[in-house]
Structure 1
Amino acid sequence: MKIREKIIIENEIKFEVQKKKDFMKIFNYLCSNYEVLPYKNALLYDYYFDTIDQKLANKNISYRIRFRPQPSINLKFPHSKCNNIWSRYEYSCKFNKKMNENELLACSCEINSEIKKILEVEQLENSLSVVANLRTYRIGFNIYDKKKNALGKRQLIGVAFFDETRNMDNSNNFFEFEMESYEQTDVFACPYIFQNFEMIGDFMEKNGFFSSEKSKYFRCLEEKK
């Protein structure tokens, strides 16, 4: 079995979309201002784990197992937000074989070691349980600058996602537009990309879309209260 692990700084904008047909308005704006190319579509099966008393959620930390169908584990830390841009540290761990949830919880990887330290436990299988179950149909596009640089190539601004998500605990559906940067570094390392993120964010706000204050996971936790 091969494990691919990395830690990144995730930079993204996230906006709530009230109606599915509103995705077309966003898509038309992107096509008018950027070179838009298909990226990939995916059906994401996401399971979020925590302790019974939600020790991770209380620290604004999320631990997610995702199947698409390749299994992966993600550990996301609290985010900061400036000009509608979310920035946060994220551990990512991907596996090249089929594994179930218990096998992933028991595997030896950096994320699981970090969670054990946070929770002060020796095993995760007996400490964590599923607290949120989401299904997301995701349509993705690569977004490029229309102008070519000195090398005759277009700058990749990021990847745009149109997400339709169902909370499997109550069958509620919601829609969200996200755009992530491929430059997984500090905001100040790639100012041009973040200027474009701000421009897209301004368009979203002027057209009545609200910047997401919570991730999909924490939004689902709110629905339980």
Structure 2
Amino acid sequence: MTAHPRIGVLGGCGGAGASVFAAVLAARAAAELGTAFLIDCDPVGGGLDVLLGCERAPGSRWGQVRLRGGSLDPAVLRDCLPRWHQVSVLAVDDPPALDPDALVRIATAAASAGPVLLDLARWSSPVRTAALDSCDLAVLVTPAEVRAVTAGAAIAGALDPARAGLVVRGSAASLPADRIAALLGLPVLGELGYDPASRHPGGLDPRRVRRRTGQVAEAVLRQARTARAAARPGEAA
């Protein structure tokens, strides 16, 4: 059975831009393959649909998720969720509705239809643990700042270095990306400048992201496909 990669994205500190990067990854994947899924796993993030500007789009949010026994049809899942630039978005509207078992079932079903991006909270929880366990690649987004790297160290310690990497945002001569990688024990997947695309009044528009942001997103997607193929050689992504 064809299965697409699952990628978890989390910030090393508040305001790192992890949610924006997760959305850019989803949009790039959908532009290439025709569909992708973006799952909000942060109960206090304010709702990914608000960030994207699709909070009024029809479709189910976490508060409307009701799973019964049996398999979950990925086509039904895709069509019942709000759409944003060919991405099916499952946003948090009711934090207590987030459930680790439901998350894994939804992510597994979604991955049979397209790449799955999981926007994760920074703090440890059963939801985050379940999400990370199911991911082929975890991406830690951290600004190139001493305080941000210090905050990110605890998060990096919970990640499997064989299935995780860094995206470094901004630059600092005194704290280059390779130094951050050494401090956090994770490889660098890419380096980004600050991208104003998320400040658009209508929400994040992936067509407005800087070229460099798109290039890093594509590199991360390639790495995720490679990680999935290596971990599950019997599956074709």
TM-score (normalised: structure 1): 0.30
- Which structure has the bigger radius of gyration? 1
Task: Please state which structure has a larger fraction of its residues in helix.
Answer: 2
TM-score (norm 2): 0.29
Larger % of strand: which? 1
